[in-house]
Amino acid sequence: MKHHRYTLLVLALTALQGCANTPTAEAQLRGAQPVQAPITEAEAALIEEEAQQKRFESWKADFINRATSKGYDRALVTSVIQPAVINELALERDSDQPEFTKPVWSYVDNAVSADRLNTGTSKLIENEDVFNAIEARYPVPRHILTAIWGLETAYGRIMGNHDVVSALSTFAFEGRRTDFGEQQLFAILDMLAANQVKAEQLTGSWAGAMGMTQFIPTTFRDYAVDFNSDGNKDLWDNAYDALGSAAHYLGRHGWRKGEPVMIEVAVPSGFDYSLSETATKTVDEWAALGVRPVTGERWKADQGRLNAEMIAPAGHRGPILLTFKNFYVIKKYNNSTSYAMGITVLGDALRGVQTLHTDWPREDQALSFEDKQDMQVKLTQLGFDTKGIDGQIGPNTRKAIRAWQKNNGLPADGYMEQNLFKRLMTS
């Protein structure tokens, strides 16, 4: 993207320079100097960088003024914002987050890798006292907390060394997440003003998440806890604070102790897959439709009253799941079905339980971003409105896919891969 901007700038500046320096016939007769050489891409890059830096400095001054007008101490705001620099990596990576771009099976496989599982098992033993104390205060089990710890930062090994203020200032200054960036910066000011955190601790990922459990500033401000009461909410080096904060966050969002997160199920022949993602039923109601645990076991007596939704993240040929309240609590942590599945599968594996029994349709070829856009255009043209053309397969697009599938006598599971995509595009 940046290279493309440079190229356009080179062309524009060269054209302007050519117009300014092209001599008239009269000037040529008088021996006018020849046209100067076109501006190079490196020179254009430097010009753009200088212009961007001027705009960034202007944005910082404006933010400082606006924050001061909201009641924040000007000296504090200036000390936080003025040293910020543009983080180009933050803008580049923002559009390529793996839980939204990888096939679901690839993400889940990686989540439960041998290294992550083995290290997690060791961490459970090493931190038994930590987990005993946390479970005595919060309803969230240690295996889920360990899975979050492992998936977020490889148990604290990869927390990121980016300056969080610079990363978030970059978002606030330019790109698709300006509102998010400013919201997080104000949260940092709140944290510093309340002595919740030390300025030198503010390092993390390119996305602005911090510590062993990767809290963004608003989450840190609202949910981080000083679990061991040492006067500092230290999510970077203190397992009590980091894991206790994650447990507090999940607990506040409604975690239900002792209830399942998700259960793989088998469905009868001819099952109406259009119920997936669209219907919430009790387990007893799903059972009346022939839905059973894939292991062949009976539903437990205390599960019948629980509400659950069905998802088929890789269509009817992959694992079919009933998802419960706790699944959606995990999605509060990261609003991705792949992420919630990864946490659940790893958490179950850490306690010696196998979550998934049906293999994924690994031979399926995923759609590219352009394919997804073409699919949305085609579905909408056929009367199945996707409510926008953004290249993202969200609830509205899956609803449109299910409607098209049902109209064509196909299992209405809302799943699209290359073979089905080709059939759609030629219909």
Q: Given this model, what pLDDT does residue 97 score?
A: 52
395-409 residue pLDDT tens: 999 999 999 999 999
For 406-426, how does the pLDDT look when each residue is reduced to its tens digit (9 = 90+)? 999 999 999 999 999 999 999
Q: Write the DSSP assignment of 309-353 as a string of letters.
A: EEE-TT-TTS-EEEE-HHHHHHHHHS--HHHHHHHHHHHHHHTT-
> What confidence score (pLDDT) does residue 27 get?
43
CA distances from 170 to 204, 220, 273 (A): 14, 20, 43
What is the sign, positive or negative, of the torsion defined by CA atoms of 60, 63, 69, 72? Answer: negative
pLDDT digits (tens, 9 = 90+) for 53-111: 999 999 999 999 999 999 999 999 999 999 999 998 887 776 555 545 678 999 999 99
pLDDT tens sequence across 214-248: 999 999 999 999 999 998 899 999 999 999 999 99
Using 50, 70 and 90 to split pLDDT, how confident is the model at 175?
A: confident
Cβ partners under 8 Å of residue 398, min gap 6: 277, 414, 415
**Quick one: pLDDT at residue 408?**
96
Length of the chain: 427
Two tokens, residue 309: 């939704």
CA distance 109 to 395: 24
71 burial via Cβ count (<10 Å: 0-12, 13-18, 19+): exposed
Find the helix or strand (DSSP H, E) in which 308 lies. Answer: strand 307-311
pLDDT at 36: 65
Question: Helix, strand or coil for residue 50?
Answer: helix
pLDDT per residue as tens digits for the range 293-342: 999 999 999 999 999 999 999 999 999 999 999 999 999 999 999 999 99
Quote the pTM value. Answer: 0.86
Q: Where are the domains of the chain?
A: 2-30+37-72, 101-252, 369-425
Q: What is the pLDDT of residue 110?
A: 96
Strands 307-311 vs 280-282: parallel, antiparallel or unpaired: antiparallel
The helix (H) or strand (E) run that includes residue 408 is none
According to the model, what pLDDT value does residue 9 have? 43
